[in-house]
Structure 1
Amino acid sequence: MNQYETVFICTPVLSEPQVKEAVTKFRDLIKANGGEMIHEEDWGMKKLAYPIQKKSTGFYHLFEFKADPAFITKMETDFRRDERVIRFMTVKLDKYAVAYSEKRRKLQKAKSEKKED
């Protein structure tokens, strides 16, 4: 199993529960196909670098997971079929990217613990 990172953008016309429903759908798809969720981030609504389908903002979400390489094509097909998703990108992480990702998560955790104090 390889480690992957997927960022996808949901259309801004959705309500918060609809976005959460879409995120849950893809999280469950990963788990149902033998994948293992490592990390998940909700980046919220952000401005797009350029208009996509006449929209200038979107809900960003990141998944970091381990999965079989054959599953990636199935997941990307589901992204293309879902009207709520306007863009997505999946990247296979090499050992350096995995190490960087772990370091980034530890820094975020330390920052959030520091804010709580």
Structure 2
Amino acid sequence: MLKHYETVFILTPVLSQSQVEETVKKFQDFLKENASKIDHYESWGLKKLAYPIDKKKSGYYELLQFHVDEKTASKNIVSDLELQFKRDERVLRFLSVNLDKYALEYAEKRRQKIKSNQ
């Protein structure tokens, strides 16, 4: 049985573009090492925050969609990923959600719409 997840995280705005890419790659590699497969990745870029976090008014928004086979992966992959987020000082905030079948359909439609606009 596959479990699908979506994680959005915000990186500090003081990073250069190469540092942002390096940070995202770190989390992608962590997921791959723990028997997860990344379905989709999006960089939403530098956006203004709704409220200041650590005296910062903007941040780099990143989206990762991935799935895990429950039989082969560790039971706590999301909590392990969130622990990695907490340990990294470049991450301001993060949110991980389990996608149900309706959210999965919506995510797929969204991906197709993005591809068609490019």
Name the TM-score class by shorter chain: over 0.9
Aligned position for 2:21: 20
The amino acid of 2:24's aligned partner reads V
Q: Match of 2:56?
A: 55
**DSSP-derived class of the 2:76 partner:** helix
Could you say what secondary structure the match of 2:42 adopts? strand
Q: Deviations over 1:10-40 (max 9, x none)?
A: 0011111111110000000000000000000
Aligned-partner Cα distance in 2 for 1:107–1:17: 27
Corresponding position of 2:8? 7
Q: Does 1:88 align with 2:94?
A: yes
Aligned pair count? 112
Determine which of 94, 103, 106 is the counterpart of 1:97: 103
Q: Which runs of 4+ in 1 moved over 6 A?
A: none
Q: TM-score, normalised by structure 1?
A: 0.93
Whole-angstrom CA distance in 2 between matches of 1:104 and 1:14: 28
Secondary structure of 1:47's counterpart equals strand
Long gaps (5+) in structure 1: 113-117
Report sequence identity in percent. Answer: 52
> Which structure's residues are more often helix, by fraction?
1
Q: Distance in 2 between matches of 1:105 and 1:54?
A: 34
Q: Does 1:42 find its partner at 2:48?
A: no
**Matching residue's letter, 1:42:** S
CA RMSD of aligned residues (A): 0.9
Q: Structure 1: how far apart are the matches of 2:99 and 2:43?
A: 20
Question: Gapped runs of 5+ residues in structure 2?
Answer: none
Q: TM-score, normalised by structure 2?
A: 0.92
Q: Is residue 2:114 matched to residue 1:108? A: yes
35-44 or 103-112, larger mean C-alpha shift: 103-112
Distance 2:105 2:113 in 1: 12
What CA distance in whole angstroms lies between the structure 2 residues aligned with 1:15 and 1:100? 32
2:38, 2:59 → 1: CA distance?
Answer: 23
